[in-house]
Amino acid sequence: MMSSLRTWLPRGIVAVAIIVGILMPFLVSDYDLFSMSRVLAVALGVVSLNLLMGSSGQISLGHGAIFGIGGYAAMMLMRYLEWPVGLAVLGAVVLCIVLGIILGFPGVRLGGFNLGLLTIVIAALFPILLYRFSDFTGGQAGITLSDAGLASPTDALTDAQWAYLVILLVLLVCVGMLRVIVSGRTGRALAAVRASPILAASMGVNADRLKLVVFVLSSALAGLGGALYAFVLGLVVPESYPLVFSITLLVASVVGGSRSWWGAIVGAAVIVYLPTWFSEAVPGDTSAYLAQLIFAIVLGVCIIVAPGGIAGLVSRLYRSVWRSPAAEPHPSLPTQPDTQEIR
């Protein structure tokens, strides 16, 4: 009975959380939904990093730029070509897939930290290119939409309620698909790649190809999140996607837990709400610098106290509460390497 409860309790908690998330638009104001929608859209970007780092052990310092490219692409397709929302988002995702192939192929083949170096170059160049080609990107003014990007098709829901529910549904679908992808044979292959290229080769896994596929999929998710984030805001400007934004997404992944899907939402909530709280508590430009300082402190504390992030800490506490003496490994038996899939 205790074993059954231990198995079903986390699933029950997740089910309750999803139900509460679905009911949230009818419990809070549209202003609060605006912030929550931003959290969910940013969470997609953090999920893309969790897939990249937590599953395959790769590091990207430029996902903020890919996130921004998705936003700009979707807004430009709607503004200049008058594409519908669905096609604009699809176009942004396809563009990010192409970008992922262009960046990932040489980065993965060269190995080491080359992928991280290539992505950080893109993150540094992206805002400069936005100013350089201001005739298309709008320059400092950016691109805005005359109407809501995610307008409600029914009078029963406001635009804010509709946008929140759409992004929540997209996030849940993406997380569900990723759980399927990283489980079973694919999950074991990714764990082998993350642990050791030699181990992966002994299992018949083409490590370079698998890493490239994961990076491309991660780029697609980042572009999807960027497009939805742009529609929530109703505009895109270069100041929203500096190099520090890519680092902030990385911080969110580490703080929330790079091996946890729901940890991505926690990390996204931290980087969305923390600057807002400080801007209300500390007037002027000081709040922005103070928020960055707090980010650094939180990151340092997580690395020392909770290397697995907030999600990892909660999971560890849960296992310690429900640990059974019979389930503990015998001291004379060798323990298996950590090849569990991302949760």
pLDDT at residue 318 tops 70? yes
pTM (two decimals): 0.88
Q: Measuring CA to CA, which residue among 244, 332, 234, 253 is closest to residue 299? A: 253
Chain segment 64-100, per-residue pLDDT in tens: 999 999 999 999 999 899 899 999 999 999 999 999 9
**Residue-level pLDDT at 118:** 86
Half-sphere exposure of 54 (CA within 13 A, CB side): 33
Q: Could you tell me the two tokens for 214?
A: 């994961």
- Rounded mean pLDDT, 158-187: 91
pLDDT at residue 326 tops 60? no
**Residue-level pLDDT at 284:** 61
pLDDT band at 322 (very low <50, low <70, confident <90, very high): low
Q: Could you tell me the two tokens for 331?
A: 């001291």
Residue 245 neighbours by CB distance under 10 Å? 22
**Residue-level pLDDT at 1:** 55
**Residue-level pLDDT at 244:** 87
Highest mean pLDDT among 23-32, 251-260, 271-280, 306-315: 23-32
- Rounded mean pLDDT, 171-186: 88
**Residue-level pLDDT at 208:** 85
| Residues 6 or more apart in contact with residue 41 via CB below 8 angstroms | 167, 225, 226, 228, 229, 232
Q: Please, what is the average pLDDT of the chain? A: 84
Residue whose pair of structure tokens reads 């993965």 in the numeric block:
108
**Residue-level pLDDT at 257:** 86
pLDDT band at 287 (very low <50, low <70, confident <90, very high): low
- Residue 137 is classified by DSSP as H
d(CA 149, CA 231): 5
d(CA 110, CA 99): 17
Which own/partner contact pairs does 86-91 have at CB distance under 8 Å and 24+ positions apart? 88/227, 89/224, 89/227, 89/228
Question: Phi first, then psi: what are they for 307, rounded to 5°?
Answer: -60, -25
Q: What is the largest CA-CA distance in the chain?
A: 69
